[in-house]
A and B are shown apart, each in its own frame.
Chain A
């Protein structure tokens, strides 16, 4: 158990809809990262938050947004969903800010299926 909690574990929805994925980081971790893993693809970095502030953006679509709340949990919002958005979405947390300080701890992911 990594200590990172993601909900929901599975989500099935239709094209055009909007969903919210939630992540609770390990206790004490200030950084939250979101990654997307599609079939046969590696982990694509989406966005990084540190202590409530956005720190870095990767290949995140404009239809996607995220935020980190004062209690440090984070939400990833996916809107106007397309079939190609079907993927596993991972949240990871760490104690680091911008500098590397060690491993990221990943949750078990939220599997999104868009029909």
Chain B
């Protein structure tokens, strides 16, 4: 079955708010955790990744937090914009296989 999953299938926010998308994973041996964004009609697009020996990594308007104690990963998007509306997937890199994706959270941003 799935080893990576997201807590909520949908998230609705107002433009300008901060968004937090959560993900739980089960494989402690994964060495990287990654967030992808999939816009309607397109393939997934890389957002940010974090190595398993880190607990926080920041990008442009995005921050990924990793809590290995409770096997939890989150993506924070600052000042959410309508263009951020998409499906967000977390994924884990399992050595010897490939990226294993969760089921996704649909983020809807209203203005």
Contacts and interface: CB of A to CB of B under 8 A. Distances in A.
Interface of A is mostly: loop
Given A2-B43, A90-B43, A108-B41, A42 B102 contact: yes
Interface stretch (A61-69, A72-80, A95-103): A95-103
Interface of B is mostly: loop
B49 A106 contact: no
A48 B45 CA distance: 18
A100 B32 contact: yes
Contacts of B101: 35, 42-45
Given A42-B2, A42-B102, A43-B101, A56 B96 contact: yes
B17 interface: no
Given A56-B97, A104-B46, 19 more contacts: A4-B43, A42-B102, A43-B44, A43-B89, A43-B91, A43-B101, A45-B101, A58-B100, A90-B43, A92-B43, A98-B95, A99-B95, A100-B31, A103-B49, A104-B44, A106-B45, A108-B42, A108-B43, A109-B43
Interface of A: 2, 4, 33, 35, 40-45, 48, 56, 58, 90, 92, 98-100, 102-109
